[in-house]
Structure 1
Amino acid sequence: MPDLSQTIAAVATPPGVGGIGVVRLSGPDALELAAKIWHGRDPRQSPAGRFWHGWIYDPASGEKIDEAVLLVFRAPHSYTGEDVVELQTHGSPAVLRRVLQLLLSLGARAAAPGEFTLRAYLNGRMDLAQAESVLALVEAESETARRQALRGLNRELSERIRAINQDLLDLLAHVQALLDYPEEGVEPHRARAAIDRALAEIESLLATAAAGRVVREGARLALVGAPNAGKSSLLNALLGYDRALVHHQPGTTRDYLEANMEIEGVPLVAVDTAGVRETSDAVEAAGVRQALEVASGADLILYLADSSAPRPQAPKLPWGRVIKVASKADLEPAWNDPEYLRVSARTGEGLNELRREIRRRLLGEAREGEVWITSERHQQALQEAREHLQEARHAPEDLMGMSLEAASKALARLTGEEVSEEVIARVFSNFCVGK
């Protein structure tokens, strides 16, 4: 764990050139160190939350380094719970390096990755689940990921976990009273009913884990079908611009092509594959094999069949992960099948319905307005709590309390109340320097 008596400093903006760069200080000497390089309103006398214009100087040589803005946050109401100073300079890497070097030469220590947020956790400004949500918010690449990270940061997950845990602790007290003072305890059937309520809450959260994984990691969507089924046209239509080559001649796609996109708030990589058919062409046959391999590893498959042509024989696919698409719906249909979504890449017919179905298949029944489990650590803690509660439900009264206590500790680890230093270090090692 870090030495909180030390003052830390880091560049808080990403590497590279920008209009503005930020150097952040946190710790007991933050105001004093900032005052040594600042010409302007004295940071030690500055009220919290006010911006001040001034200049950064090298105190040893008197050299002017940059024009800047200074912002002071005072303990315990800052992000870290300590005195914090932010120096906003021009976004030159040379300027930011020089300002950081000045602060380090005056006694600050270079911050470790995630140390500002770690200090916020250690100082009680946030729990561990909230801290992980900070990282998730920084890394969010889709609107759904952003909203879920913000729910975690707003304590929605933490409060729900604490409510479950408080009920378990109350039940544990009653079970212990049942053993020590039978007349004061709770009847066994009522204890098991309380356990069932906690299990239902945990199962509800775990049911969102699949959606949470998709939001966190993204999904792979494979477009598969016979040559000239309209796969490349559909990919371009979903993207909103031309990414794949479209030609009336069948077999123009010999290799697979990937494109990042977001559909209904879901981040995914769409893969346009070679047309699947029997062929004697060695190169095309390799493309067919590759297309089926890509499909087998995808989270979801769009199987396209040209509805304006005779219905092709479907290839072997994992049909539980397939959305069937009748393409070229703007043309006269040669066949109809209610299991297929009719879609036209040319007119846009069926595209919105297809987008909604992709979202539904990837996210399941997870509702947008609820908090999801997006962390593997959280999922493991909930699964462990569920196992202990299932043990408690079938345990005799004299052993029920042990399983309830173990379930409670598993839930407490999720918010960081019962967690080892090793776990804490692992969580914060994923952060960038300056956050």
Structure 2
Amino acid sequence: MRLRDPICAIATPPGKGAIGVVRLSGEGALEVAAKVWRGKDPRRLKGGRFTLGEVVDPGTGEVLDQALLLVFRAPRSYTGEDALEFHTHGSPAVLRRVLEALYRAGARPAGPGEFTLRAYLNGKLDLAQAEAVLALVEAEGDLARRQALRALEGAFSRRIEALENRLLDLLAHIQALLDYPEEGVEPLEAERTIREVSAEVEGLLAQARASRLAQKGARLALIGAPNAGKSSLLNALLGYERALVSPIPGTTRDYLEAPLELFGVPLVAVDTAGVRDTEDPLERAGVERALRIAEEADLILYVVDRSAPKPAPPPLPWGRTLKVATKADLPPLWEDPGFLPVSSRTGEGMDRLKEAIHWALLGEGGGEFLLTERQVEALHRVRERLLEALSLPQDLMGLALQEALEALSALRGRGEVAEAVVARVFQNFCVGK
């Protein structure tokens, strides 16, 4: 792929809109823009300034649209190159003709993520920040947005850089031990440094599940006996009536899904059929499906009516199950401190339940950083090499520490990073970003 020639792409989503944006970047981008622009010469404009004019076909001179042109001068642009944005009306026909005009003027279509790839290659972003760009574009919940923004601002990269520096210092001292034994580091000091870096890595890995759920969302299954209050609880969590509520047991024969967001995390709550022994084949099929849904869910709410006799619990994965006692506004027939009492009618206990759901899914803090699969794999390699280093005498630690350091550096895209790794990072980007 040529990585300096001018590229262009539509940067706004498909479909009609008030405004559409076409991006252009690369060596010669200003000259390309001058061929399709009727107004102030883009080659003479200062960076960061808008100008009003018309986009024209460079072959026929036909006016394609009135537009605003925004110029970014290298290196003060997203890509680090001369770059421009044409802000046109958001008609697909207009945007298509503007692209065709730029092709005729000498630009080529950008590949997926090529603008961000150029930003990485030109030192405007490191690889972790580039991954954060994609995560920010794809964020569906507010927590994922916050995590991605922290990574884009460099918080994750700075944490990794600090660990790299500690290992570099240790590696230098160990090398000094080989060349000048009297200059080496104390064995206990070396072990302490490795254990402290390992603890930092473990702390980052502990956030992997929270990061995945923040980005991809979670499934929340409501399981319980008929008439336990599952549908009412679902409606209370949603804040509107989604499920049919009836005092007749067994109203819900199949499952019902509804999206919601709690503490910035996108969830899909699933109301299921009441779980009980039954001879009705249709109801039995609903019970079996409910238990399968529970098995596949990220978190289960086991819902029991505390104003009725306590039923025998169904077979559930209790390690990811919250026990909820509904109808807390009615006199209880039993008490159990392991259950959270709530009332879907009055709202009693609902805030505590939401906080418990948040804690069960994400743990304390909800995850400071976004972590991609690639980053989790690299951190696992770092941890393995550090554990290996601890098992070796000091004069043999060097190779394991060097490999740990290389894995850390790969997180930011520093040092030797295989082309396949870079391609993997950018393969899911949209064209125009």
Q: Shared fold by TM > 0.5? A: yes
- Cα displacement (A) at 1:373: 4.5
Give the aligned partner of residue 421 of structure 1: 419
Aligned positions of 1:85-164 closer than 5 A: 85-164=84-163
Q: Distance in 1 between matches of 2:56 and 2:192?
A: 68
- Cα displacement (A) at 1:5: 2.6
Does the 8 A contact of 2:132 with 2:370 survive in 1? no
Q: What is the letter of the counterpart of residue 378 of structure 1?
A: Q
3-state SS of 1:295 partner: helix
Give the aligned partner of residue 251 of structure 2: 252
Q: What is the letter of the counterpart of residue 424 of structure 1?
A: V
Q: Distance in 1 between matches of 2:176 and 2:58?
A: 67
Q: Distance in 1 between matches of 2:89 and 2:329?
A: 55
Task: Give unmatched runs, 5+ long, in structure 1.
Answer: none
Does the 8 A contact of 1:11 with 1:22 survive in 2? yes
Does the 8 A contact of 1:6 with 1:28 survive in 2? yes
Give the aligned partner of residue 392 of structure 1: 389
Q: Deviations over 1:233-267 (max 9, x none)?
A: 11111111121111121111111111111112222
Does the 8 A contact of 1:225 with 1:304 survive in 2? yes
Give the aligned partner of residue 210 of structure 1: 209
Q: Deviations over 1:204-245 (max 9, x none)?
A: 111111111111221111000011111111111111112111
Q: Distance in 2 between matches of 1:309 and 1:5?
A: 72
Give the aligned partner of residue 356 of structure 2: 357
Does the 8 A contact of 2:36 with 2:105 survive in 1? no
Q: Distance in 1 between matches of 2:28 and 2:327?
A: 68
- Cα displacement (A) at 1:64: 1.2
Count of aligned residue pairs for this structure pair = 432
Q: What is the letter of the counterpart of residue 432 of structure 2?
A: G
Is 1:372 the counterpart of 2:365? The answer is: no
Is 1:269 the counterpart of 2:251? The answer is: no
Aligned positions of 1:66-77 closer than 5 A: 66-77=65-76
Q: What is the letter of the counterpart of residue 141 of structure 2?
A: S
Give the aligned partner of residue 34 of structure 1: 33
Give the share of equivalent positions with the same residue, in percent: 63
Could you state the TM-score of these two structures normalised by the residue count of structure 1?
0.98
- Cα displacement (A) at 1:393: 1.2
Q: Distance in 1 between matches of 2:302 and 2:377?
A: 34
3-state SS of 1:86 partner: strand
C-alpha RMSD of the superposition: 1.1
Q: Deviations over 1:40-96 (max 9, x none)?
A: 121111111111111111122221111111000010010000000000001000000
3-state SS of 2:274 partner: coil
Q: What is the letter of the counterpart of residue 203 of structure 1?
A: E
- Cα displacement (A) at 1:278: 1.0
- Cα displacement (A) at 1:191: 1.0
Q: Deviations over 1:362-392 (max 9, x none)?
A: 0123x25x63242111111111001101111
Does the 8 A contact of 2:141 with 2:215 survive in 1? no
Task: Give unmatched runs, 5+ long, in structure 2.
Answer: none
Could you state the TM-score of these two structures normalised by the residue count of structure 2?
0.98
3-state SS of 2:302 partner: strand
Is 1:200 the counterpart of 2:199? The answer is: yes
Does the 8 A contact of 1:179 with 1:397 survive in 2? no
Q: Distance in 1 between matches of 2:28 and 2:344?
A: 62
Aligned positions of 1:243-322 closer than 5 A: 243-322=242-321
Q: Distance in 1 between matches of 2:206 and 2:181?
A: 38
Q: Distance in 2 between matches of 1:75 and 1:191?
A: 45
Q: Distance in 1 between matches of 2:53 and 2:211?
A: 45
- Cα displacement (A) at 1:296: 0.8
3-state SS of 1:183 partner: helix
Q: What is the letter of the counterpart of residue 395 of structure 1?
A: L
Give the aligned partner of residue 166 of structure 2: 167
